[in-house]
Structure 1
Amino acid sequence: MNRLLYTAMLAGFVAFSPLADAIGAEENSYTLGNLVIEGPWSRETASSARNGAGFLSIENQGSEDDRLVAASSSAAGHVELHTHLMDGGVMRMRQVEAIEVPAGETVTLQPGGLHLMLMDLPEPLVEGQEIRIELVFEKSGTTEISMPVANIAADSGGHGKGHGMNKSKQ
């Protein structure tokens, strides 16, 4: 049991460490109303991992704020919206109700910050695999995107720039 717990903790640490900035996949772009979703990617998981993560950026080119309120995928039992918060000097993951996408800004879901948490994986995510993710926005509606799975040693391809909840004016 201790070995399983250790393996799960190690996989989680690697998945969300700053080293993850070096991970990525080919650029994909999707438009939903005034939202532009770019560069979705995930990384392969260990064979014993029950969870994975998804990353992307969302640019709101409109004049009204929007919110990512849900996500789903047949590649996972369920998908949660997560962030990392400092708690007593320790960085911890927390589920969030929604991810704000302010008008005129880009929100980046990246390792160490906001991300999609792919929970209860029925099988490991494998490099080269493409997983389908449905994203639900409060105002813009629903869209389905393809999320390539990259090897942990892959070049970031422009993904994962910076740390934390990166919101930059465009």
Structure 2
Amino acid sequence: MTLQHITRSAFIVLALLAGQVHAQATAPVVVDGAWARASVQGQKATGAFMRLTAKDGARLVRIETPVAGVAEVHEMKMEGDIMKMRAVPALDLPAGKTVELQPGGYHVMLLDLKAPLAKGSTVPVTLVFQDAKGVETQLPLQLPVATQAPGATAAAMGHGTAHGQKH
């Protein structure tokens, strides 16, 4: 391989990377800190978490992934002294405000997993947003699979909770 070929290859890689960064920067919603919780053999559900910031306001209306039979946004909240979890049809993303999808609050549930999600792998997920005019935009992501949020401690993540139970 000549220096010219190496230079051209490096230029193409940099152009592709710049395109990915530009696509994220121009997307109607910026995603930060996204990850999916690892699962084990026989486990049929897990969660995915992230921070979403919509420049002009939007709604998260659908999640698509080939690794699960169903992917939906769920909300966990206290009703009296009982923690309840339910699917929400869409998640409002107010303009300029960050909405956090985290354990114990709003989060993505990946149900009917087709195979375990191994720590250190990635999961393809496409978020589908709708703007105020009803126009849909898709944002494909590769979520890293981990046992806890990047940079989090086990105590802060509430390990030992029943997040993956059937409901």
TM-score (norm 1): 0.69
Unmatched runs of 5 consecutive residues or more in structure 2: 1-20, 158-167
Distance 1:90 1:106 in 2: 27
Alignment-mate amino acid for residue 87 of structure 1: E
**Residues 75-128 of structure 1, C-alpha deviation per residue, up to 9 Å, x if partnerless?**
111201101022341111110011110011010101111011001001111101
Contact 1:42 1:148 in 2 (8 A): yes
Q: Which moved more, 1:95-104 or 1:138-147?
A: 138-147
Contact 1:32 1:143 in 2 (8 A): no
**Residues 19-43 of structure 1, C-alpha deviation per residue, up to 9 Å, x if partnerless?**
xxxxxxxxxx834533211111011
**Residues 28-61 of structure 1, C-alpha deviation per residue, up to 9 Å, x if partnerless?**
x834533211111011113221001100111122
What is the count of residue pairs matched by the alignment?
129
Distance 1:134 1:100 in 2: 17
The correspondence for 1:35, drawn from 29, 32, 37, is 29
* 1:22-101 to 2 correspondences below 5 Å: 30-31=24-25, 33-62=27-56, 65-101=57-93
Question: Are positions 1:146 and 2:146 aligned together?
Answer: no
Alignment-mate amino acid for residue 45 of structure 2: N
* Alignment RMSD: 2.3
Alignment-mate amino acid for residue 56 of structure 1: M
- Percent identity (aligned): 34
- Deviation of the 1:152 alpha carbon: 4.3
Larger RCO of the pair (alpha carbons < 8 Å, separation 6+): 1
Contact 1:31 1:37 in 2 (8 A): no
Alignment-mate amino acid for residue 145 of structure 2: V
Question: Are positions 1:116 and 2:108 aligned together?
Answer: yes
TM-score (norm 2): 0.70
Alignment-mate amino acid for residue 102 of structure 1: P
The equivalent of 2:98 in structure 1 is 106
Contact 1:86 1:92 in 2 (8 A): yes
Alignment-mate amino acid for residue 104 of structure 1: G
Unmatched runs of 5 consecutive residues or more in structure 1: 1-28, 162-170
**In terms of Rg, which structure is larger?**
2
